[in-house]
Amino acid sequence: MTMIKAEVLAAIEKSLTPLRDVPKGYLKTGRLLHVGATLLKAYLPGVFMGEVCCLLPEGALAEVVGIDGATAQLSPFASTGGLYCGQQVRSLGRRHRVPVGEDLLGRVLDGMGLPIDDGPAPQGPWRDYDAPPPSPLLRQLIEKPMLTGIRAIDGLLTCGEGQRMGIFAAAGVGKSTLMSMLCRSPDSDINVLVLIGERGREVIELIEKTLGEATRRRCVMVVSTSDRPALERMRALWVATTIAEAFRDRGKRVLLFADSLTRYARAAREIALAGGEVAVSGGYPPSVFAALPRLLERAGKGILGSITAFYTVLVESDDMNEPLADEVRSLLDGHIVLSRRLAEAAHFPAIDVLASLSRLMPMVASGEHQALANAIRQLLSVYRDVELLVRIGEFVRGEDPQADRAVDRYFDICHFLQQQSNEPCNLDELLAQMRYLTDI
């Protein structure tokens, strides 16, 4: 970070706007009782959950994540190196807030919402990071498609404006490339990208090489690399969602891309286990699963604008039924599965169409479009059934006309589903290609 320390501290102080007027004498001072790698314990009576505290005299910040009588559990915003038992702690009577102004466009922020580029400190306005999801009765119906410019998605997995999609994939199958293609969507006004637990090298590559200058100008990037404290890695997704909400409330069509929801959950698990919670399903404590719907429900279509969200989920050993992946799939409006087998065959984007689903496609695509998509899906499904026979030379033509058509069209369909990262696509051309593939 190139900002001088005084500017950073001033930005932090400004972001910590009180939730309410703090009565005189409310601020409490206590002392650290325990210092761990990810969690602190302090004698600090009278604090509330989510309150930000200051460690004296350095001014390091921590947040209350648990309370047991007069003992508070604190998660630090930075490394615990140099802290010691008996060190003074002061409650600030405030919660963490993040900047949500127009001056964030083109900027790169850390997981707490502070800039890590060469630009000036954000001027606000500011919002609480933990806003409640909108009322179900205030949500608007999703009736308009959100075109991404990716043939496999727009053609067979059409998304709606305000839809929430999961991208399920193992490591190294093209998530970053897919993200760069999504960021060029012609139907989004603002892009909010959040990178959680990524390698630092990948961040600068994304900024300098993957995203073009025009795309960067309408992007807000929130970055918390793998070396950052667990609280910052967890908070990054909440910060990005808050920024996206602010632009939605101004009438913008926002595309939120989060990579990855799995690393967010791991950071939350790290804090929860250090606080004494018991791991249950898949090694995750109950608080992780409790927070997911509260976070994911914040995206969607509002009265003025919309947030169309894509969340990546890392699947271990290609197991789509692991507890976290299964829970996320049940909460979202659809899922896109990236196949390792397709990636190994240099088929990019490596979208397994038959394993993927957009629940809102029937609501946003025309009748003809749905018929074409269903016909292509049927051809792919039939080819999958006879693929082994084709490869060993035992397939006999003339016995099943549908199988004959599937074999004849398979490689054309594969070519249609593959796309260069900078290759444009519009709906009219897309439908024309789909008519050719299906003879409809």
pLDDT tens readout for residues 202-211:
888 888 877 7
Task: Check residue 20 and give its pLDDT.
Answer: 37
pLDDT tens string 80-98: 888 999 999 999 888 988 9
Report whether pLDDT(328) > 60. yes
Share of the chain above pLDDT 70, in %: 93
Tally the residues of the chain: 440
Q: How many CA atoms lie within 13 A of 168 on its CB side?
A: 25
pLDDT band at 26 (very low <50, low <70, confident <90, very high): low
Q: Where are the domains of the chain?
A: 17-95, 99-361, 367-438
Q: No. of H helices and E strands in the chain? A: 14, 17
| pLDDT in the model for residue 22 | 44
Q: Which of 243, 262, 261 is nearest to 252 (CA)?
A: 243
Q: How far apart are CA 141 and CA 133, in angstroms?
A: 16
Amino acid letter for position 41: K
Structural fold of domain 17-95: Elongation Factor Tu (Ef-tu); domain 3 (2.40.30)
Q: What's the fold here for domain 99-361?
A: Rossmann fold (3.40.50)
| % of the chain surpassing 90 pLDDT | 63
Other Cβ atoms within 10 Å of 183 Cβ, number: 22
For residue 23, the model assigns a pLDDT of: 44
Whether 18 shows a pLDDT value over 50: the answer reads no
Query: Quick one: fold of 367-438?
Result: Substrate Binding Domain Of Dnak; Chain:A; Domain 2 (1.20.1270)
Whole-Å CA distances, 187 to 28, 64, 151, 193? 50, 40, 14, 16
